[in-house]
Structure 1
Amino acid sequence: MRPVWEEPPTVPGRALKAVILTLLVASVLFPLWTVLVTSLSPPSAIASAGGFVVIPRGFDLSAYRTIFAGGAVTRALWISTLVTVIGTAVALTVTVLSAYGLSRPGSTGHRWLLAYFLIPFLIYPPLVPKYLVVTGLGLKDSIWALILPSAVSVFNLVVVRGFFQGIPPELLDSARIDGAGDFRILARIVLPLSSAVVAVIGLFYAVAYWNVWFDALLFIDRNDMYPIQRVLQSYLLAGQAPHTSGAAASLPPTEAIKMAVVVLTVAPIVAVYPFIQRHFIKGVLIGAVKG
């Protein structure tokens, strides 16, 4: 409800808000629409438009058939999916366990450990030591080189720790009196009450792992281990063409191939996000009521 001291909105004010929101939505949807339409346009429509197509003029899936025929995009999508699923599970597990241990005031050395975690958050480590550590552990050219270096985000750790500290200690003490151990308390009490923050952190980790490309640029030299973002970079920036057995003259325009790769890169997150958002909003409301 509107506070009593706030004036009711005027007609020009509502019209201005509607115009601003419409422009903001259009600024987001227009590039996505252009990318999708260009990837599905025939060569004649792309040639007549001089590059990007805004108004559909035909329907052609040759760009998608071309990039899937080479096999690089299919492997890259599989690698990205594997990295996202495993990486999110590992990162959430490490973050939740670390945050719970650091949130308990009686845990051994929790202040010193928290200060140790905050050092790389305040002073970002250089790339050369990171590269030497990853290569020294034998993780180069493996999916673990894309997962383990980003397994713990100090910011996410501090956020989860702060949320755990807000849980009433009397609730945890009563469970401990009943004979529950720390793992049972974490699984049966802390995590159900923290569904909102766990959903937020899990979403952050999943998006970060799906969009990983700089670590792939550093640690992945094999083409068959490239994630989808690394393949997208090679198509858009390096100008590499997909490896196919067809003649160069029969290939679709370069713009269509690039936009098709962009669609395949964005589509999984766009398709999954509505389902995640539904559970995410529910978790936020439950956490807000219980908090």
Structure 2
Amino acid sequence: MRNARGGVFDVINLIFLTFVALITVYPLWHELSLSLSSMEEAMRGGAFFWPRSFTLAAYTTVLQTEYIWTAYGNSIFTMTVGTIVGVLLTAMMSYPLTKGEMPAQKWIMMLVLFTMLFSGGMIPTYLLVKELGLINSLWSLIWPTAISAFNIIIIMSFLRTLPSELEDSAMIDGANPVRIFFSIVIPLSKPVLATVALWEAVNLWNNYLQALIYLTDKSKYTLPLMLRDVINGQATARMTGELTGTSVDSVIAATIIVALVPILCIYPFLQKYFVKGAMLGSVKS
């Protein structure tokens, strides 16, 4: 009887999760199908379950536009440099906090945890970024969020699982703490660093609010701001001035798909680390 009930539950659970997965995936599939449809079919609207009158005209229009490549370059720079800086600084702050002999360790940890509950707010943060001379600079998207208290806790939880004997033997051989950190700790921490890198990369790639606040020059726009311009019609004249065989809706859909490609390519390779890091943070303190 229990096995029968378990089998029924598994079937119902599978049907439910499949339904949820389809609902989640359909918006992306709709945009992909719309971007590959002809102008006449796109203007008809409705639900798109597959491309109608297949054409690549929308992608030709988008990829021939300098505007999107500028935004792409800015987003790639922000994501790449911001991820490296964020992961490195977070790891460098987490490592000493796992050492009991560090002076004022508890007080520093309390200050780190304090930032998870309270922040200065948007206006004080803007004034600080302005005083640092980062307004209208891509670095304004990197430095203010380079270190996250949550990521510090995740990395600390992992570092506590490393055997201390490795560091002791390295110190006996004459290695200093900096050498130990970069030669031993960092290589052994690849899983958790990959997890944090994925979080950082996704957050930086999708960073819309900070870009909207700090960036004023269109040559510095990232993809989220460029998408806003396209969707709101502010860049339609530039991008669709000579549309042939496609529509504004198809161009918008193609722009969205092109903007998603890097993250869609990166995520499958780091998904296992993402799950492992999330579970690590949930069971360790």
- In the alignment, which residue of structure 2 is the partner of 1:3? none
Q: Give the secondary structure class of the aligned counterpart of 2:201.
A: helix
- In the alignment, which residue of structure 2 is the partner of 1:24? 20
Counterpart pick for 1:137 among 127, 132, 137: 132
Map Cα deviations across residues 166-224 of structure 1 (whole Å, 9 max, x no partner).
Answer: 32333322322222211222223322332221111111111111111111101000011
Identity of aligned residues (%): 30
CA contact (8 A) 1:34 1:54 kept: yes
Map Cα deviations across residues 221-258 of structure 1 (whole Å, 9 max, x no partner).
Answer: 0011110011112222x332334387567583221122
- Residues in 2 aligned to 1:245 and 1:176: alpha-carbon distance in whole angstroms: 60
Distance 1:222 1:251, change over 3 A: farther
Opposite residue 32 of structure 1, the aligned amino acid is L
- Residues in 1 aligned to 2:264 and 2:20: alpha-carbon distance in whole angstroms: 18
Is residue 198 of structure 1 aligned with residue 189 of structure 2?
A: no
- Residues in 2 aligned to 1:153 and 1:281: alpha-carbon distance in whole angstroms: 16
- In the alignment, which residue of structure 2 is the partner of 1:265? 259
Counterpart pick for 2:108 among 107, 113, 130: 113
Counterpart pick for 1:59 among 54, 58, 61: 54
CA contact (8 A) 1:51 1:255 kept: no
Q: Give the secondary structure class of the aligned counterpart of 1:244.
A: helix
- In the alignment, which residue of structure 2 is the partner of 1:232? 227
CA contact (8 A) 1:220 1:226 kept: yes
- Residues in 2 aligned to 1:54 and 1:175: alpha-carbon distance in whole angstroms: 60
> Which 5+ residue runs of structure 2 have no aligned equivalent?
281-285
- Residues in 1 aligned to 2:58 and 2:229: alpha-carbon distance in whole angstroms: 16
Map Cα deviations across residues 93-141 of structure 1 (whole Å, 9 max, x no partner).
Answer: 1001000111111123322222222222210221111111111111111
Q: Give the secondary structure class of the aligned counterpart of 2:236.
A: coil
Using structure 2 for the length normalisation, give the TM-score: 0.87
Counterpart pick for 1:189 among 173, 184, 192: 184
Opposite residue 143 of structure 1, the aligned amino acid is L
- Residues in 1 aligned to 2:78 and 2:234: alpha-carbon distance in whole angstroms: 24
- In the alignment, which residue of structure 2 is the partner of 1:35? 31
Instruction: Give the CA RMSD over aligned residues.
Output: 2.6
Distance 1:242 1:67, change over 3 A: farther
Distance 1:207 1:176, change over 3 A: same
- In the alignment, which residue of structure 1 is the partner of 2:283? none
Q: Give the secondary structure class of the aligned counterpart of 2:238.
A: coil
CA contact (8 A) 1:141 1:219 kept: yes
Opposite residue 42 of structure 2, the aligned amino acid is I
Q: Give the secondary structure class of the aligned counterpart of 1:55.
A: coil
Distance 1:247 1:234, change over 3 A: closer
Opposite residue 252 of structure 1, the aligned amino acid is T
Opposite residue 23 of structure 2, the aligned amino acid is S
- In the alignment, which residue of structure 2 is the partner of 1:169? 164
Using structure 1 for the length normalisation, give the TM-score: 0.86
Counterpart pick for 1:221 among 194, 207, 216: 216
Q: C-alpha displacement at 1:42, in angstroms?
A: 0.6
> Which 5+ residue runs of structure 1 have no aligned equivalent?
1-5
Opposite residue 270 of structure 2, the aligned amino acid is I
Distance 1:262 1:277, change over 3 A: same
Q: C-alpha displacement at 1:146, in angstroms?
A: 0.9
Is residue 276 of structure 1 aligned with residue 245 of structure 2?
A: no
Q: C-alpha displacement at 1:159, in angstroms?
A: 1.5
Is residue 12 of structure 1 aligned with residue 29 of structure 2?
A: no
CA contact (8 A) 1:35 1:52 kept: no
Equivalent pairs, count: 278
